[in-house]
Amino acid sequence: MGRIRHDAMDRHGGFEVVVACDTALDPTASVPMVTDPMAVYDYAPDVIVCSVPNMMIPDVVCTALERGKHVFSEKPPGRNSADVRRMMEAEAAAQAAHGGRVLKFGFNHRVHDAIEEAKKLIDAGTMGDLYFMRGVYGKAGGPNYAQNWRNDPALSGGGILIDQGIHMLDLFQMFAGRFTDVQSFVQRKFWTDVPVEDNAFALMKNAQGIVASVHSSATQWQHTFRLELYLRNGFISVDGILSASGSYGTEVLTVALNRLDATGSPIPNPESQELRFTEDRSWDKEIAEFHAAVVEGAALRCGTSQQALDVMELVEAIYAADPEWSTTRQQTPQTATE
């Protein structure tokens, strides 16, 4: 991820990468490298880009903010809402001490072209009121699935839902605001030797009565991203999401406005318009927004700490809403240090 961010900063301009920290030194690196996270401060950076495992995110982010740095951090924002609150406190303290410090999280799905286009269609009012949303986001485990830190709950905070499904939940809340009323089933089916879920199903409702359902899966053998929004006057769907691997396909936005019969009732299967997006500009847009926030003091629209807190609370609510899962989870010994 650090590499992707570095490339995006190079494309954008206005950034000078002064040092990179990794677990091992790369002799071919084009910038100075260190392995001790605290050593980066010897280079007096203005900005810290934090691409570390979930359990390390709060410490790295808080340290950077305490030292008056602007911070761009990957998602998820730590392992749980307590981690986010800790970072929000550091953010507030940095504001008080240094003023104008930026903390942005990498919820890049919000700025994918198809998603932005869907948002424009809804914001224009043409489609009418939003009724419900359905989201499916899934993949086929991955290499060394059981050994990956992502699947140690003490390090990651959870399984596929917090790792991947969190993007879908963030989009739900971008379109409809906060969801508080939640039902769920959380399961471990295939990857039974790891103590995190490989499937999460949730049904949720917000204060306006908008309903959303999500299925986040690590046993979706065919990589899939599909978001559907149904509104009074028609529907929108986004199929596929551009990613570094390309395995979720290109992004296809489909939108239709209903045709009405003589009595004003919708006729089934309206003409739809399909728009295809083939270039992933989300990394560039995120870096551009971060740059504008740091340099010009522009307000962040995507990846704010409040959005991070909202989505983390929703993740926790989904885990908690399946009593069987939350009981099992509490009984699972957590080996790594909290």
Partner 1 sequence: MQTPVFLDHLPDIDAVAGQKPAKYRLRRNQALGALLLDPTDPWQERKCCPACGQASDKNPIFSQALMEFRRCSGCNSIYAARTPDQATLDRLRLEQIAATAAEPQGDREFEFTSLLNWISLTEARLERRLDRVLDIRFASQAPAWPDATERLSHNRAWDFLHLEPDSPDFAGLRAAIAQAAPRAILMPAELDRAADPAALLAALKDAAAPGTVIFAASSCADGLEYEILGAESPSFVPLDRLTVFSIKGFETLSARLGLKVLEVSTPGRLDAVILDRYFKSAENRSIPFWSSFFREADKNRLRDLQILLQRSLKSGVLRFILET
Residues that bind partner 1 (CB under 8 A): 117, 120-121, 123-127, 254-257, 259-260, 269, 271-276
Contact 170, 307 (CB under 8 A): yes
Closer by beta carbon to partner 1, 265 or else 273? 273
CB of 137 to partner 1, least distance (A): 24
Closer by beta carbon to partner 1, 236 or else 302? 236
Residue whose pair of structure tokens reads 């959303």 in the numeric block:
212
Closer by beta carbon to partner 1, 272 or else 332? 272
Closer by beta carbon to partner 1, 250 or else 326? 250
The tokens describing 253, both together, are 């936005």
Contact 239, 134 (CB under 8 A): no
- SS3 of residue 2 by DSSP: helix
CB of 132 to partner 1, least distance (A): 20
Determine the residue type at 324: E
CB of 129 to partner 1, least distance (A): 15
CB of 153 to partner 1, least distance (A): 42
CB of 266 to partner 1, least distance (A): 11
- SS3 of residue 120 by DSSP: helix
Beta partners for residue 191, in sequence order: none
Closer by beta carbon to partner 1, 124 or else 299? 124
Contact 215, 203 (CB under 8 A): no
Could you give the CA distance from residue 46 to residue 42 in angstroms, rounded to a whole number?
A: 12
- SS3 of residue 259 by DSSP: strand
* Sign (positive or negative) of CA dihedral 309, 314, 318, 320: positive
Contact 302, 286 (CB under 8 A): yes
Upstream peptide bond of 77 is cis (omega within 30 degrees of 0):
no
Closer by beta carbon to partner 1, 96 or else 262? 262
Closer by beta carbon to partner 1, 205 or else 276? 276
CB of 114 to partner 1, least distance (A): 12
CB of 9 to partner 1, least distance (A): 28
